[in-house]
Amino acid sequence: MNIAIAGCGYVGLVTGVCLAEAGHDVACIDIDRRKVMQLKQGNPQCMSQG
């Protein structure tokens, strides 16, 4: 299934990864070009303290 995710924040990115791992074709769309470029380079910036 082809799926588009609007927003590459914490929720959108995790959802997209889970769907991709389940075998779906996923496209993440965001208005922040920096986030999109980081994803294309394989460097997502989702950091949380824990």
pTM for the full predicted model: 0.75
Signed CA dihedral, 25, 19, 30, 48: sign only: negative
Q: Are 37 and 10 in contact (CB under 8 A)?
A: no
**Which tens digits make up the pLDDT trace of 6-43?**
998 889 989 999 999 999 999 989 999 988 888 888 88
CA distances for 35 relative to 10, 22, 24, angstroms: 11, 23, 21
Strands (E), 1-50: 2-6, 25-29
Question: For the chain, how far is it from start to end, CA to CA, in angstroms?
Answer: 34
Tokens 């991709």 — which residue? 20
Q: Quick one: pLDDT band at residue 2, thresholds 50, 70, 90?
A: very high
